[in-house]
Amino acid sequence: MLKIYGIKNCNSMKKTFDLLNELGLSYEFHDYKKQGIDAQTVKKWLDQVGQELILNKKGTTWKKLSEQEQQHALSSEENLISTLTTHTSMIKRPVIETHQGYIVGFNEDEIRGLK
């Protein structure tokens, strides 16, 4: 079964849910806005796919950080993990955990490839 991490009221998430339902794929949803996300999970994502895929620098939450806060977040993996677990909106959505690894962000072709 797939495990999807994200925020319920997000357009990328809605498109993902719609596509998975269309494909008849079952999934478990983890809403990290409501449930939070632990440091070990974020570290696993960073190890598997890297910070460029996980950290959403285009979002308003990242842009609202001061230059110093952004530099601090990027200065070490530990600081980045702390920032992402505190400000979960900075995590790109969705993060889909599959048997083959992770799909980060809405990618219709990759999601269709799960069928």
What are the sequence ranges of the domains in the chain?
A: 2-112
pTM of the model: 0.93
Is the bond leading into 94 cis (omega within 30 degrees of zero)? yes
Mean pLDDT, all residues of the chain: 96
The residues with which 4 forms a beta bridge, in sequence order, are: 29, 96
Q: Are 37 and 85 in contact (CB under 8 A)?
A: yes
Q: Could you report the per-residue pLDDT of 69-107, keeping only the tens digit for each? A: 999 999 999 999 999 999 999 999 999 999 999 999 999
Strands 95-98, 2-6: pairing kind: antiparallel
Span 47-66, average pLDDT: 96
Q: What does the DSSP 8-state code read for residue 8? A: T
2-112 maps to which CATH number? 3.40.30.10
